[in-house]
């Protein structure tokens, strides 16, 4: 890599790392501040007085009450002398009671001042300065969360554009692909910048005070820089591109977020002639600022996890059993559901561990089509498990449900998905269902659990530390803060103390150097954060178009003849939304437009949202977008996908990577959507 490009990469990576670490530190500071307040109260009973500024009361704690009452009575009589016939008499008893209360308050102020002078030692000052610093960090982070998010989004998007690694249907292979893709990205970024400028200028001209004008300025400058980077890329094509190409194929190399911005520009610029429209809906990403920052942290967790051997060691436990490919595929779905729940979305876990899943399945002889199918849906069942961010987002936007309720039923939906997958896997298996005898497999399998114990100890130690010292637990609220620390502990352990690592790191394709591992993880995180957050933000613009136009086929009738018809229509709407929108962007649209329709037709809120989550996952696995399949291709490579397309002796096995996930998730969706309704009618 050229020195200039290496320097640019380091600059982008360092900026993203700083923002992510700032988020982690801010989240930890909040817990630290709370725990130090408890410790301060334990050490000094009057700590809340001692941590504040020194009080200087000016009131008199010992006034002569009778003289004060005489003065108040004289003032009262003077003020009411002109209205003597109508005025009430001075209530001396009530005035005395009020004055006594004031004296008590004054005495308390003087008492606090004396406590401060007597007990405010050097130790208290040092402790309070330390504690208040954590409070200030936390307050600063809360006040600037939106700014951190927009800077993270813009910097990461610039990096992804510079690296040409945004999410698209096809990768760039020819010069025509290159020119079409970068031209489209330039136009889309320019339109976003123009829309943001129009929004900002319009608000300023109208005298409207923007609550956070810096957000608009950063977005305007950032999108303009995206356009500049696209122009630079346009005139500097990479080496090795084919001289000729197909125009239809070239259109597929245009990133998905670019298509969304171009569609939004066409609608708002041409049809509605409302230039600020794109920016207005793009900035709806700030409605869920915490969630999107957590997504950035979860992506970093995934990239850190990718630098460990944990995934391959987990699969090693099952090797002695010689499971058929279909059983191992079932095991992969089961294992990957847990990290999916902690990383917040199925797409993130595909990026982080998809390559490991695919390689392990292929190593035991799994056909490519089945391996691709499983890789694409490794996380699809985990989005309903605790502590998934998507479920948290539902609870934030909808007061009708709470996270405990959603996770309770989510676990049951997860088990149903596993059963349905097992059914189709057994139905379509090609080899006899044989596994190693129990006595032959159990010993080697348990032996391969031993290398996992250090990881378990690191996990338990970290969880114990956070629970005891910071009163923080690995739940949906603190997981994005705690997990990066835990995974970094895994990396340090492997490089410093694991004898097994040196034997396997070359085969795994990861660096034995700790610094290099962290550097690689943050570089990969920067690209993926830019690609995913940009896609999420742009999906809000598509949601805006649907909201303003009624969505054509998504126009919702006022009433349905039966709850079954209502559910069928809602399932169709949710499926279509899942195909074209990011889940977090879709949540806002569904919460305010579709969910009320479900509630009005007697569909229980928890039932509706379980249906929604499954419908979304079916949408991510369905053509024409098939986001999870696009991410799978990105991690396993175009060559493996091409080889898979050449396999299979009938229609099903030639398209198993698409058909199996569709069969599993569509069957699960039908059961989740209509099963409870049928049960009620019986």
Contacts of 82 (CB under 8 A, 6+ apart): none
pLDDT in tens, 267-321: 999 999 999 999 999 999 998 888 889 888 988 988 888 888 888 888 889 889 9
Range from 135-139, 203-207, 434-438, 571-575 carrying the lowest mean pLDDT = 203-207
Range ranked top by mean pLDDT from 28-32, 201-205, 320-324, 413-417: 413-417
Q: Can you say whether residue 207 is alpha, beta or left, with left for phi > 0 and alpha for psi between -120 and 50 degrees?
A: left
* Residue 410 belongs to a domain: no
Alpha carbon distances (Å) from 56 to 64, 113, 116 = 22, 7, 10
Angle at 599 between CA 596 and CA 605, to 5 degrees: 105
Same domain, 111 and 181: no
Other CB atoms within a 10 A radius of the CB of residue 144 amount to 15
Mean pLDDT along residues 617-626: 89
Same domain, 129 and 212: no
* Residue 581 belongs to a domain: yes
Same domain, 205 and 269: yes
Three-state secondary structure call for residue 242? strand
In 266-367, which residue ranges form alpha helices assigned H by DSSP? Answer: 277-282, 289-306, 310-316, 325-343, 346-363
b/e burial code for range 328-361 (CB count within 10 A of at least 16 → b) = bbbbbbbbbbebbbbbbbbbbbbbbbbbbbbbbb
User: Could you tell me how far CA 332 lies from the centroid of its own chain?
Assistant: 23
Three-state secondary structure call for residue 89? coil
* Residue 359 belongs to a domain: no
pLDDT in tens, 346-404: 677 787 778 778 887 887 778 999 999 999 998 787 888 888 878 888 998 899 999 99
Whether 553 shows a pLDDT value over 50: the answer reads no
Domain-ending residue, one of 216, 251, 275: 275
Same domain, 148 and 162: yes
- Contact (CB, 8 A) for 286 and 215: yes
In angstroms, the CA 592 to CA 602 distance is: 17
Domain-ending residue, one of 141, 164, 186: 141
* Global pTM value: 0.85
Same domain, 133 and 176: no
Q: Give strand pairing partners of 174.
A: 242
pLDDT in tens, 482-496: 999 999 999 999 988
Same domain, 555 and 661: yes
Quick one: pLDDT band at residue 552, thresholds 50, 70, 90? very low
* Residue 492 belongs to a domain: no
In angstroms, the CA 592 to CA 613 distance is: 16
User: Helix/strand/coil (H, E, C) string of 157-221?
Assistant: HHHHHHHCCCCCCCCCCEHHHHHHHHHHHHHHHHHHHHHHHHHHHHHHHCCCCCCCHHHHHHHHH
Task: Give, rounded to a whole angstrom, the gap between the first and last alpha carbons of the chain.
Answer: 68
Give the pair of three-digit tokens for residue 201. Answer: 């200028």
- The residue among 431 and 513 whose pLDDT is bigger is 513
Domain count for the chain, please give it.
3
Whether 510 shows a pLDDT value over 80: the answer reads no
How does DSSP classify residue 87? P
Same domain, 243 and 127: no
- Contact (CB, 8 A) for 334 and 418: yes
- Contact (CB, 8 A) for 576 and 612: no
Same domain, 117 and 186: no
Three-state secondary structure call for residue 328? helix
Confidence (pLDDT) at 538: 93
* Residue 626 belongs to a domain: yes
* Residue 340 belongs to a domain: no
In angstroms, the CA 566 to CA 340 distance is: 31
Q: Considering Cα of 398, then 403, then 404, then 408, what sign does the dihedral take? A: positive
Confidence (pLDDT) at 463: 94
Range of the domain at 550: 538-681
Same domain, 161 and 134: no
Other CB atoms within a 10 A radius of the CB of residue 140 amount to 13
Same domain, 136 and 75: yes
Domain-ending residue, one of 224, 246, 275: 275
Contacts of 510 (CB under 8 A, 6+ apart): 306, 307, 308, 309, 517, 520
Alpha carbon distances (Å) from 212 to 30, 143, 206, 449 = 23, 10, 16, 52
In angstroms, the CA 154 to CA 15 distance is: 11
Residues in the chain, overall count: 682
* Residue 372 belongs to a domain: no
Quick one: pLDDT band at residue 263, thresholds 50, 70, 90? very high
Half-sphere exposure of 570 (CA within 13 A, CB side): 37
pLDDT in tens, 166-188: 989 888 999 999 999 999 999 99
How does DSSP classify residue 237? P
* Residue 266 belongs to a domain: yes
pLDDT in tens, 73-89: 888 877 776 555 555 67
Same domain, 85 and 136: yes
Range ranked top by mean pLDDT from 202-206, 349-353, 662-666: 662-666
Range from 24-38, 236-250, 335-349, 480-494 carrying the lowest mean pLDDT = 335-349
Same domain, 549 and 676: yes
């Amino acid at each position: 890599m050229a020195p200039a490009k290496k320097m640019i990469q380091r600059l982008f990576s360092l900026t993203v790392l700083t923002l992510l670490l700032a988020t982690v530190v801010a989240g930890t500071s909040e817990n630290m501040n709370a725990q130090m307040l408890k410790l301060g109260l334990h050490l000094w009973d009057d700590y809340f007085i001692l941590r504040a500024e020194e009080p200087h009361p000016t009131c008199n704690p010992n006034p002569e009450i009778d003289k004060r009452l005489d003065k108040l009575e004289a003032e009262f009589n003077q003020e009411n002398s002109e209205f003597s016939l109508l005025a009430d008499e001075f209530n001396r008893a009530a005035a005395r009671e009020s004055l006594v209360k004031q004296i008590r308050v004054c005495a308390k102020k003087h008492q606090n001042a004396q406590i401060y002078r007597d007990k405010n030692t050097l130790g208290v000052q040092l402790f309070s300065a330390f504690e208040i610093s954590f409070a200030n960090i936390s307050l600063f982070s809360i006040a600037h969360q939106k700014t951190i998010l927009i800077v993270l989004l813009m910097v990461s998007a610039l990096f992804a554009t510079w690296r040409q690694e945004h999410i698209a249907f096809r990768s760039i292979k020819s010069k025509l692909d290159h020119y079409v893709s970068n031209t489209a990205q330039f136009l889309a970024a320019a339109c976003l910048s123009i829309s943001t400028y129009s929004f900002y200028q319009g608000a300023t001209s109208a005298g409207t005070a923007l609550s956070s004008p810096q957000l608009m300025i950063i977005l305007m400058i950032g999108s303009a820089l995206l356009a500049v980077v696209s122009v630079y890329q346009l005139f500097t094509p990479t080496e090795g591109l084919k001289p000729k190409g197909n125009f239809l194929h070239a259109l597929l190399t245009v990133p998905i977020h670019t298509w969304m911005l171009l569609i939004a520009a066409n609608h708002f610029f041409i049809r509605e002639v409302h230039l600020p429209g794109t920016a207005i809906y793009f900035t709806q990403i700030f409605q869920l600022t915490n969630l999107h920052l957590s997504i950035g942290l979860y992506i970093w967790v995934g990239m850190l996890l990718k630098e460990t051997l944990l995934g391959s060691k987990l699969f090693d436990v099952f090797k002695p059993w010689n499971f058929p490919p279909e059983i191992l595929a079932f095991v992969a779905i089961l294992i990957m559901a847990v990290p999916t729940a902690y990383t917040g979305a199925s797409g993130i876990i595909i990026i982080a561990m998809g390559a490991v899943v695919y390689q392990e399945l292929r190593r035991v002889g799994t056909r490519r089509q089945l391996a691709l199918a499983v890789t694409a849906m490794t996380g699809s069942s985990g989005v309903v498990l605790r502590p998934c961010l998507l479920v948290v987002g539902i609870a934030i936007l909808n007061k009708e449900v709470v996270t405990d309720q959603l996770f309770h039923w989510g676990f049951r939906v997860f088990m149903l998905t596993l059963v349905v997958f097992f059914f189709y896997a057994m139905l379509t298996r090609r080899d006899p269902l044989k596994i190693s005898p129990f006595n032959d497999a159990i010993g080697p399998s348990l032996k391969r659990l031993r290398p996992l114990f250090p990881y378990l100890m690191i996990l338990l130690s970290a969880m114990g530390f956070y629970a005891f010292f910071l009163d923080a637990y690995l739940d949906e609220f603190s997981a994005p803060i705690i997990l990066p620390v835990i995974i970094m502990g895994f990396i340090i352990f492997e490089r410093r103390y694991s004898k097994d690592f040196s034997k396997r790191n070359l085969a795994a394709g990861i660096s034995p150097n700790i610094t290099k591992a962290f550097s690689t993880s943050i570089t990969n995180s920067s690209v993926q954060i830019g690609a995913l957050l940009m896609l999420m933000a742009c999906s809000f613009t598509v949601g805006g178009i649907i909201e303003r136009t009624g969505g054509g086929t998504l126009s919702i009738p006022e009433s349905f003849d039966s709850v079954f018809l209502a559910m069928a229509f809602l399932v169709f709407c949710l499926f279509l939304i899942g195909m074209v929108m990011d889940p977090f962007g879709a949540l806002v649209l569904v919460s305010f437009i579709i969910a009320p329709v479900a509630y009005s037709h007697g569909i229980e809120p928890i039932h509706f949202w379980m249906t929604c989550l499954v419908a979304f996952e079916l949408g991510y696995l369905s053509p024409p977008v098939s986001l999870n399949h696009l991410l799978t291709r990105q991690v396993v490579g175009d060559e493996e996908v091409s080889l898979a397309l050449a396999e299979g002796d009938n229609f099903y096995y030639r398209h198993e990577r698409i058909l199996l996930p569709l069969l599993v998730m569509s069957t699960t969706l039908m059961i989740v959507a209509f099963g409870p309704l049928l049960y009620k009618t019986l």
